[in-house]
Amino acid sequence: MSLSFEKRKKKILEYLNKEGRVEVLVLADEFNVSTETIRRDLERLDSEGKLKKVYGGAVKVRADSLELPFDEKTQLHAKEKAAIGKYAASMVKNGDTIMLGNGTTTMEIIRNLREHKDVTIVTHSTPTMLLAIEIFNGKIIFVGGEVNPRQKSTEGPLAELILNQLRVNKTFLSPGGISLVDGLTDYELSEANISRKMMDRADEVIIIADSSKFGRTTFANVCSLDDVYTVITDRNCTEEWQQYMTDRDITVWIANEEESAD
């Protein structure tokens, strides 16, 4: 009698943790199931962010620990980020106060708030603040603190102290990774702390993430998926991931590039 998926899953992860790699043929023989069954198991675990499927088997997932410099990130998934930013901006109403986390996707929100005069933005991102000064007509509050030159943002106790004095309608966050196992993660503890504080200080939190973020785990935990209620992503987000989130009562909005084009 073959094992159930949950029991196979537990064994697979045990082997992976011990050996660092598992092979389809070996697992099929071990569990007395077909190689196709094992491949489906590995695909499912890959989607959950628990392993990385490779030719002939799978390898242990290593958390991404090094974030690209801010300027380099602006070149990645640019069309998807533009579409997500435009969709997110459409959720901002006149009279809103909003917090914007650090990231190239959150900058795209600013590009689409030119006509919003009765909106206040709060951010610790220098590029976001500078862009807002140039094109945004509403009120801008920049959160000071220790400067992170690589990511062009502020962080630390002073930044958290300032955020703790504020309360906003919406917070828009762009995490480094989204995983079923590890939830929302970021590359640095300090950035994760800022993100958690921004979540605490908002009536509504909206996660903006292009499809490359799903199934990825970075260094520092922000929160579990149980704390996420709304996600905006692009049309390349897999149906499986969309279903995972829907099953967890997370509202998923898909930003269409064509509809978002000016």
Q: How confident is the model at residue 115 (pLDDT cuts 50, 70, 90)?
A: confident
Q: Dihedral angle at the C-alpha atoms of 167, 171, 176, 180, nearest 10 degrees?
A: 100
In terms of domains, do 221 and 123 share one? yes
User: Is residue 65 a part of any domain in this protein?
Assistant: no
pLDDT of residue 101 exceeding 60: yes
Mean pLDDT over 76-97 rounds to: 92
47 and 121 both lie in a single domain: no
Whether residue 17 sits in one domain with residue 106: no
Per-residue CA distances from 39 to 48, 61, 111, 154 (Å):
14, 17, 44, 44
The rounded mean pLDDT for the chain is 89
Are 145 and 17 found together in one domain?
A: no
The answer to whether residue 218 sits within a structural domain is yes
Q: What is the mean pLDDT of residues 42-46?
A: 88
Residue that is last in its domain, among 60, 84, 105: 60
User: Is the same domain home to 76 and 16?
Assistant: no
Final residue in a domain of this structure, among 37, 60, 83: 60
Residues 40, 84, single domain; the answer is: no
- Please identify, among 18, 36, 60, the residue that sits at the C-terminal boundary of a domain: 60
How far apart (Å, rounded) are the C-alpha atoms in residues 121 and 133?
Answer: 11
Least trusted range by pLDDT, from 16-20, 110-114, 151-155:
16-20
Same domain, yes or no: 80 and 56: no
Position 124 in a domain: yes
Asked if residue 82 is part of any domain, the answer here is yes
**Judgement on whether residues 127 and 166 belong to the same structural domain of the protein:** yes
36-40, 61-65, 218-222 — which is least confidently predicted?
A: 61-65
* Alpha helical stretches, state H, 20-69: 24-31, 35-47
Which domain range does residue 31 map to?
Answer: 5-60
pLDDT value for 206: 98
Query: For 168-215, what is each residue's pLDDT tens digit?
Result: 999 999 999 998 888 999 988 899 999 999 999 999 999 999 998 998
How high is the pLDDT of residue 73?
62
User: Is 89 found in the same domain as 212?
Assistant: yes
Are both 44 and 76 inside the same structural domain? no
State whether residue 120 is helix, strand or coil: strand
Look at residue 48 and tell me whether its pLDDT is greater than 60: yes
259 pLDDT more than 60: no
In a domain, 214, yes or no: yes
For residues 88 and 18, state if they share a domain: no
**Overall number of domains in the chain:** 2
27 located within any domain: yes
Cα 218 to Cα 222: distance, rounded to the nearest angstrom: 10
145 vs 101: CA distance, rounded Å: 14
- Within-domain flag for 43: yes
pLDDT at 156: 94
Provide the pLDDT for residue 104: 87
Q: Is the CB of residue 184 less than 8 Å from the CB of residue 223?
A: yes
Specify the CATH number for the domain of residue 191.
3.40.50.1360
CATH of the domain at 26: 1.10.10.10
15 with 45, same domain: the answer is: yes
